[in-house]
Chains A and B, each alone.
Chain A
Amino acid sequence: MKKIYMIAVSVLLSIAAAVTALPAGAGASPADNGTFTVGFDAEFPPYGYKDDSGEYVGFDLDLAQEVCNRRGWVLAKQPIDWNSKDMELKTGSIDCIWNGFTINGRENDYTWSIPYVDNSQVVVVKAGSDIDELEDLKGKVVAVQADSSALAALTSEDAEEDDLALAASFADLQQVGDYNSAFLNLDSGAVDAICLDIGVASYEIESRKGFVMLDESISTEQYGIGFLKGNTELRDQVQETLLEMAADGTFMETAEKWGLSSSVCLDKDTVIQDDTSDPSKEEEPLWEKLLYIVKSLSEGLLSSLAIFFLTLLISMPLGLVVAAGRMSKSKLLSAIVSIYISVVRGTPLMLQLLVVFFGPYYLFGVRTTSAYRFIAVIIGFSLNYAAYFAEIYRSGIQAVPRGQYEAAEILGYSAPQRFFRIIFPQMVKNTLPSITNEVITLVKDTSLAFAVSYTEMFTIAKQVAAAEATIIPLFTAGVFYYIFNALVALAMNKIEHRMSYFR
């Protein structure tokens, strides 16, 4: 068995290495096919987002369109998962990242255009809250977007002393997947403040009601267009046209249209400076990187394990109760339970988690706390798995021959004795293969907790993958899940073997 794991692990790792080693510089010029593919996070207004009519629009996309018009290229707007941006760029599926993309802290990771937006990181709180200045954030729960400039400003190695101290004063710094989720969290009270870019903050405050921005800001940062490292040819082409646009006023017109005139930093007099990147910076050795990845994932694994074991602990007995309700002689009870089972099985678990987490606030006005996040995950998972276990139990119970009930009846067993002494052991044996399936699915499903921004192993894998600009963490997470499941399968096999003493 051990040998198989070793082989599986080495195969996965070599695939990972092969993928990351793909040749750089593919898709050097859009001129090849005349298409300029811009990668952007479609949930990042006003730089790039989906508007009410379903079109991808935004300041950056307008700029990209104008560049294409002037260069005679066709613009392809490619919304991407922000965590996967580097893989998209490396594999050549996009030509650049143009999406309020912060240069600071990433100077050496991309070939950058000159900065065209200067942005500050600010703090947004609920209107009427007791937070008026940065100092008031002490002991509060603050949200930032995963791998965002705000996160970097507060926690990265290059962060200012003041900002690090500020972050340390928070009760918790929550990473959320997107700003919509961040504002839902803020609105419901699960977090007390959000740190984000000023441009996004202004836009969000205007489109949502009841939020204000603090006067103090955390940091200042610059946006540029990020190209694959080494792709100066395309960078120069785009940059030349962008400067042209700045010179003839088109750039500022576009900025005004999007309400960004106060943060843009290109004007008629902008000239190209030297490349700011420092190509001499050494790469970390692979094993060190792997060690870091494994360490980070191990921390997340604890959260995944917590979800896994608590869910089993609650949903397995709960499933028995649900199964009893389903088989109840009361038509009403049976109908209610049937509806519950069909809703749980008929809708995505991710949606159920969102409903459990945000439901109390939006349905009943109950303020959500951050501690509720984990509880919501466990409630959501348990309710979901209980429904599946209930159906498995039901089939297992119905598979016990009628004669077993009658023999127990004749011998005078009471109903509970009959169930727990005679039927239950046979049911367990009948259902073990299906239960194994369900338990293995649960191992993988734990990753869905990211829907409510609960940081478990896969969320961390995505974050590390984004920060390290490599796909290895995702593969490593795959190996972790595989090993986890191999152990589960082994344990279930043991149990099945134990139950084989009778037929």
Chain B
Amino acid sequence: MMKTRDRVLWVLAGVAFLVGAVGVVQRVLTGHTGAAYGSYVPWGLWVGIYTMLVGMSAGAFLLVSMVLAFRIERLAGIVRLGVVVAGATFAGGMLAVWIDLGDPLLAWRLYLATGFTSIMGWMAWFYAAFAVVLVILAWQVIWRGRTSASPAVQRLGVIGAVLAIVFAGGEGALFGVVGARDFWNSGLTPILFLVEGALSGIALVTFVGLLFGVVSDSVGRVLGRIVLGALLVLIVVEFAELSIGIYASIPAYAASVELVLAGPYWWAFWIIHVLLGVAIPLALLLFAPGRRLAIAGAAALIAVTALSTKLNLVITALAVPEIEELRGAYTGPGLRWDYFPTLMEWLVGLWILAVVALVVLAGQWLLRRRPSMTEAA
């Protein structure tokens, strides 16, 4: 019989799905005219959600891969859940970017007419390869009940680890190679994406594992330490990225950084990201490392606030005009730099996150119905 907690989660996810579906219907009926992105800020909330979810997927898969590749028996219990989380977030990310396309029905061209000079072209194939490895691994560990003792599963873990690093970093490279945007154009961008992805993905697996009681207190403490380590690395990389930018004395770059730190959405950085996403989790993990609730709270905060990190990176780089005088040159819909998502964009975003939540819930339900297939078995 379903627990009250699970029932509440299903209802919440279901309501979010239905409410968000209104936005999806609007997206289908009105195309892109209901969105706030346009020619000057061409990427918005959905691209932020896509980068967040794909990064999370890479992070979750990285954790699973490490457990399998290095045969970390102590963490074997989170492998199946990690695969479910990686699959759900990956599906959500793909859904977000697909909805964001101007012509989603032409997405097949990414595979049949790939432009290999484009990082995005390569990423399409990395995603396909990742999906294949993910499906095979899910089949092995969920359907066939194989554990990390199986050589086939170990090999998949190694391949998956390499692939997760490549595509999480590649996702950062997708932004990093854009020389026209000073804020993105940095060798640190792929590293930042990799670290952010690893942190948010591992945090999400930790939170979901603790929420559903999949991981014990001792495993939770180990995961908490991994999350803490990733968080510290993120702080170092992010500090390097922002401080170099602000001291670089290149006005365009500094303008983007200043927009993040003191622009109209300063609160997204200082309150959502720094306070809720970094400071409080850091304090919880440092000062209450043995408490299940503290670890779960820290992991949840990191996972939930991951979106603000991505939006700060994606949107602020675009919110600085490449030629300042364009501001007054020609006006019209889509010719603005002060992007803020419309209701339709928020609703579609909610719908995508609801889909991810429903897949995780369904996956958890499936895992429970097959208790004999757990790693412990």
| A, B: real partners | no
Which B residues are within 8 Å of any A CB, using their own CB? none
Which A residues are within 8 Å of any B CB, using their own CB? none
